[in-house]
Amino acid sequence: MEVNNPKYRNQGIHVVCSIFTVDKGVTKVLLIRRKNEPFKGMWALVGGALYNDEELIDGLKRELKEKTGIENIHLEMANVYSRIDRSPVMRMVAISYIGIVDKNKLSILKETLKTVDCDWFPLDRIPKLAYDHNEILEDAAKLLKERIKKTDMLRYLYPSGFTMPEIQKVYESILGVSFDRRNFRKKLLSLGFIKETNKTERFEGKKPAKIYEFKKQNEIKSIF
């Protein structure tokens, strides 16, 4: 690599995340409103430019803390965006991540050095966002569907347990379909990554529902 070739100059990496939650049956994503140029005053996904001395996930967590105050959440990689003019400042390739959290278990900063607002937006009411974030968010929402169908990603929404009717509503909200109560329960239990507790909690009914929790990763045994 001829380091001095000007074609290698002025490139940077954006790290950006779509953090989802489900609030009373509605899937929402966390957006911030930008204080500075470019895209001053516009809503955007949380993220920023990577430093040259940090890994992607660390840079993203730094940005996330700076712009929302959120710490210690699980994020997984989603997609990559390389359109040449996707940033007006310089050539930036973006790496996108997704996460899902219980919004009631964390507090967000409404204003920071770089933001003037921060809020949860239902997926069907997303404003025009900075950069190509509308596209990134759309892809992220699609991926979220795949991931909750095929992995135990929802464990991060329920670090301390959930009831069947509760998590069923979340699946139905995110996937946009509805399931038979009895079959849903059987299916989820058959996957083997959740377990019953002896606690109960009222959800929508008067009869209390059992609380289940996700097994720790090392408790999940494969078939062989």
What are the residues binding a copy of itself (CB under 8 A)? 1, 3, 7-13, 38, 48-57, 77, 80, 82-84, 89-91, 93, 95
Sign of torsion over alpha carbons 191, 157, 48, 85: positive
Please choose which of DNA, a copy of itself, none residue 1 contacts, taking the beta carbon within 5 to 8 angstroms, the exact cut-off set by kind: a copy of itself
Q: Kindly state the tokens that stand for 157.
A: 């929404």
Q: Residue 138 or residue 196: which is nearer to a copy of itself going by CB?
A: 138
Please choose which of DNA, a copy of itself, none residue 182 contacts, taking the beta carbon within 5 to 8 angstroms, the exact cut-off set by kind: DNA
Q: Which of residues 154-183 bind DNA (CB under 7 A)?
A: 163-165, 180-183
Please choose which of a copy of itself, DNA, none residue 183 contacts, taking the beta carbon within 5 to 8 angstroms, the exact cut-off set by kind: DNA
Least distance from DNA to the Cβ atom of residue 156, Å:
22
Q: Is 222 in the site for DNA (CB under 7 A)?
A: no
Query: Does the N-terminal peptide bond of residue 38 adopt cis geometry, omega within 30 degrees of 0?
Result: yes
Binding residues for DNA (CB under 7 A): 163-165, 180-183, 185-187, 190, 200, 202-210
